[in-house]
Amino acid sequence: MADKKSKLKSRPTVPCDANIVLNCTRPDPPALLEALEPVFNLSAIRPVLNSNTPTNVTTYFTLYGILGVDEKAQLLTTYIWFTAYWENEFFSWDPVQCGTERINLPHNKFWIPDVVINEIMDENNAPSVPYVTAFHYGKIREDLPMRVVSSCRLDIYTFPFDVQNCTLTFNSNTYRENEVKMKLGDRVEDILERSKEIQLRRRAGLYVVNLILPSCFLITVDLFSFLLPPQSSDRSSFKMTLILGYTVFLLMMNDLLPSTGNAIPLINVFFCLCMALMVASLLETILITNLLCDSSWNLTPVPRWVQVLVLHTLGSLVGLPPKPKGKTNSEVKACPLVAVEGKADEQAPEAQGPEVEDKALLEQLRSLGKDLQAIRLQVEQQLTGNQSSEEWLQVGFIIDRLLFIFYIIFISVSFITIIGIWASSYAADMSR
C-alpha cells in the first residue's frame, strides 16, 4: 500500500492558472479550512467556472484479489483499490502561505463524481473511506477499496485449463460525456505490473490431481482387466465393481465441477467418455463370456464363413492362429465296430445249421451288434461336439483379443484428442 501511494505522489502535477486562488491569514490548517469555506458551499455543483468546460476524471485501479467465480450465474467477485483524480476550479492555494500542500477533508465538503462500474451486479460491501485529499494546485484525489461483483461471460469449455477475460467499465451515470470525461491514468502494462493478475488464470493442479488423474487410473485398471480369463465370471464382476466405484467417485467430486448452462465443459465430456468406455468393456465381457460358456455351442458346428473370417483371417492378425486338426479316434475305431457287426451277420447263417437249433442266441448277437453300433455313433458325435466346442472357444478368444486391441486404439485416440484440444485452447488464450 505504501509503494502504491508513493507512486501516486510522484505523478506530475498540473498548473493551477485557471483556478481560483485562496488567501490564508496564517500558515496553518485552521486558516486553510477557513479559506475553503466558500468552496464547501459549492459542493452541489460540478466544480467548473464555465459550464461548457468538461471535468476530466483520471482513474487508476489495482486488482488485489479474486474472491470468487460463479460459473452458473456468470459472476466474478474481485477486490480492487480504486483511485480517481479530478480538478476543482473553485480553489487553489499557495502552500507556503497556507502551510501545507494538501489536506484531507470529508466527502461531503466537495463535489464527488459518481463513478460506477457498468458490469457491477451487487452493492459494494467494502469498508468506506470517509475522506478525500485536496491538493494545493486544485486537484482532488479519492481512494476507495471496492468489492466488485461483476458480470463476466465465462467460457469454461476447456475447464480447468481455461483462461477468462473480464471487463470493468468505469463511467458516470449522471453526467454526459461532454460534461465528465473519464480516462485510464495508466497503461495496461503498468496496471498488470501492480496487480497480481488481470487475467483469471485458474489453478488447474487441484483438478488434475483430484479429477483427471483418478479417472485415468481407473481406465488403466479397466484396460488391464482384459488380462483376466474371459470365460470366468470374475472378470464381469470386477468390471461392474469398477463402474460402481467410478460412479461414486463422480458423485463425491461433483462440487469441484463447474455448473453452467452456456456450454458443456470438455472435462465433463472426458468423464462421460471414461464411463462409456467402462460400460462398453463390460458389455464386451458379457458377450465373450456368453460365447465361451454357453453349452448350446457344443453341438453346433462352426459355420464355414466364421472359420474363414475369424479363425484364419482375424486369428492370424491378432496372433491367435487356428490349431492344426489331427486324426480323431472315431476314424480309427469305426472299422472294428463295423467288422464286429458284419461278423455277427456272417455267423448268423451258420447258427441256423443243424448243430445250433436255439435261435435265441442269434437274436442276442443281433441285439449286441445294434448296441455296439449305437455306442460307436454316440462316441463319434461326442468327439465331433468337442471339436466344435474347441472351435467356438477359439472364436471367442479371437474376438476378445480383437476388441481389446480396438479398446486400446479408441482410448489412445480419444485421450490424445482431448489433451490436444486442451493444450491448443490454453495456448490460444495465453497468446491473446
Q: What is the pLDDT of residue 1?
A: 43
- 246 and 274 in contact (C-beta within 8 Å)? yes
| Pick from 188, 245, 218, 172: nearest CA to 62 | 188
CA 54/CA 63 separation, integer angstroms:
29
Give me the residue label for grid cell 456468470. Answer: 74
pLDDT of residue 335: 38
| Torsion sign, CA atoms 233, 239, 245, 247 | negative
pLDDT at site 380: 58
For 135, 161, 329, 351, 379, the CA distances from 371, given in Å and listed in that order, are 126, 80, 19, 20, 12
Low-confidence ranges of the chain (pLDDT < 50): 1-16, 295-296, 327-349, 351-352, 354-356, 385
Output the pLDDT for position 126.
83
pLDDT tens column, 173-197:
888 888 898 888 877 777 777 665 5
CA 305 to mean position of chain CA atoms: 46
123-151 pLDDT tens trace: 888 888 889 999 999 999 999 999 989 88
pLDDT value at position 178?
87
CA-to-CA dists, residue 330 to 87, 308, 376, angstroms: 114, 25, 8
pLDDT given for residue 432 in this prediction: 60
**CA distances for 15 relative to 89, 137, 141, angstroms:** 11, 7, 16
Cα distances from 363 to residues 344, 352, 372, in angstroms, run 10, 12, 14
Tally Cβ neighbours within 10 Å of residue 59: 18
Asked if residue 107 lies in contact with residue 173, where contact means CB atoms within 8 angstroms, the answer is: no
| Domains of the chain, start order | 2-201 (2.70.170.10)
Closest CA to 93 of 49, 142, 43, 31: 31
